[in-house]
Structure 1
Amino acid sequence: MKVLLSAVLFSFLTSSCTKEENMTTANQLENQKISVSGKAYTYLALGDSYTIGESVKPAESFPYQLQNLLKEQGINVVQPKIIATTGWTTDELQRAINHEKLTQKFDFVTLLIGVNNQYRGYSIATYKKEFSELLQTAISFANGDKTKVFVVSIPDWGVTPFGKNAGKSPQIIAEEIDNFNTINQEVTLAAGVSYTDITPASRHAITDPALIASDGLHPSAKMYSEWANALKPKITAILK
């Protein structure tokens, strides 16, 4: 009987301690959250390899670096929701979004897409149509608020080691990238959406190998950091 009572008492004390520990941990987390921001903001990142951060750690991709930079500003952003895959073109991204059947609305959205349209030689006219549709999709995910959507230009992969051996001159690649960026910039600004031009800075990789990932093609964490820092003040302004 004494053994049974001891076991029951031990179980009660253990349960009480666990509950107290859990409450303490929950309170600590809640206080930590409040110290960062009164609200936990949501973020949707749409794109291709440049959004998922091909050849770098997930934490080094620009969406995650952006999340951390915003937290440093006192803006609590939860883990980004990313819809992106290496190699996707505009039509493939739209199909993936449709397949996802995502109904959630987000506090802000980034969109970077088009390099694979250029790489595969797809038409500018088709890109304009599909990019326009994707931009409207992004706005709808931002609950119809165009001020909370941020488009990023296509970087110039022609300056990378891979680009220099791609069978097309870096100059031609640069011209084609510029043509695609002219379209996405025109569509973006016409819709009243923020546009961040990271293309000129991406061309610094021709003299700064540290801007290129180990695969010789994609951006490194250093370059992604530049993109995140370029976006930070714009997003901070609309969230604070």
Structure 2
Amino acid sequence: MATNPIIQILILTLFLACTAQTDHSLMIANPDASQSHYTFLSLGDSYTIGESVSESARWSVQLADLLRKDGLDIAKPDIIARTGWTTAELQDAIKASGNQKTYDLVSLLIGVNNQYRGQSKDRYQTELRQLLQTATRFAGGKANHVFVLSIPDWGQSPYAQGRNQKQITEEIDAFNAIAEQECKAAGIAYVNITPITRQAADDDNQFASDGLHYSSKQMRQWAEAALPTAKSLLDH
């Protein structure tokens, strides 16, 4: 039986392509960053670019808003992210961006596409370790100005209905265990947002219109979870 063309479109949107909502540049730079006391770089994939939501809904943009409300003069983040990127593709894109700036705060959220494509955990570990080194260089060599968000469990999304959700969850947990281990070894903060994404399972308001990516409401919770860590890192 032929595959439903709507499903084909969703699969492409899932991780391997960019929609009209996604910026096609390698880097989204904030031209007004120099006017703020603190600068911020956010690295990642569709969860960082905010697939299917507005720019203001991106979790790192919301985090910067929360930091400013708490009295920290931080710029809206520069972003290097695109839907579909694995760890290797993010690293290649960083190199291609030519970005030589340093930042007061650097975030990283990556790995779901490694899991989705069936890439090995060993490969993820090696490439994530390299990305942590890259993120630290962006932070001026200060690992204590870098933090990592755990991978959301897309197996709990409406899109994953009918898939092997138990397997997806187990694989996400395995990748996140690697990320937490590598962060600990590198002296980098790790923020576990995965339980928050699992709590969204029965609430359509937590998801974007594609039923896979997350809404502003859900990403607000990520920003709130990261807020104490970000404030602490900026105090160093």
Q: TM-score by structure 1 length? A: 0.81
Please point out which of 45, 57, 61 is paired with 1:64: 61
Partner of 2:216: 221
Distance 2:199 2:99 in 1: 37
Cα drift, residue 212 of structure 1: 1.0
Alpha-carbon deviations, 1:114-145, whole Å to 9, x = none?
00000000111100000000001000100011
Partner of 1:202: 197
Does residue 78 in structure 1 map to residue 58 in structure 2?
Answer: no
Q: TM-score by structure 2 length? A: 0.83
Cα drift, residue 65 of structure 1: 0.3
Trace 1:44-193 onto structure 2 (pairs within 5 A): 44-165=41-162, 168-193=163-188
Amino acid at match of 1:57: S
Does residue 43 in structure 1 map to residue 40 in structure 2?
Answer: yes
Alpha-carbon deviations, 1:27-78, whole Å to 9, x = none?
xxxxxxxxxxx95211000000000111111101101101100010111111
Distance 1:237 1:122 in 2: 34
Distance 2:199 2:229 in 1: 23
Quick check: 2:36–2:75 contact (8 Å CA) kept in 1?
A: no
Amino acid at match of 1:238: L
Amino acid at match of 1:180: F
Asked which structure has the greater CA Rg, the reply is: 1
Distance 1:76 1:49 in 2: 27
Quick check: 2:105–2:233 contact (8 Å CA) kept in 1?
A: no
Distance 2:86 2:124 in 1: 9
Cα drift, residue 173 of structure 1: 0.5
What residue ranges of structure 1 are gaps of 5+ in the alignment?
1-37
Distance change >3 Å, CA 39–CA 53, structure 1 → 2: closer
Distance 1:201 1:232 in 2: 15
Give the length in aligned residue pairs.
Answer: 201
SS of alignment partner, residue 155 of structure 1: coil
Amino acid at match of 2:108: L
Distance change >3 Å, CA 214–CA 39, structure 1 → 2: closer
Quick check: 2:50–2:59 contact (8 Å CA) kept in 1?
A: yes
Aligned-pair identity in percent equals 49
Pick which of 191-200 and 228-237 moved more.
Answer: 228-237
What residue ranges of structure 2 are gaps of 5+ in the alignment?
1-34
Distance 1:55 1:83 in 2: 17
Pick the structure with more helix per residue.
Answer: 1
In angstroms, what is the RMSD of aligned CA positions? 1.2
Amino acid at match of 1:124: K
Cα drift, residue 236 of structure 1: 1.3
Does residue 212 in structure 1 map to residue 201 in structure 2?
Answer: no
Distance 1:93 1:163 in 2: 25
Amino acid at match of 2:50: G
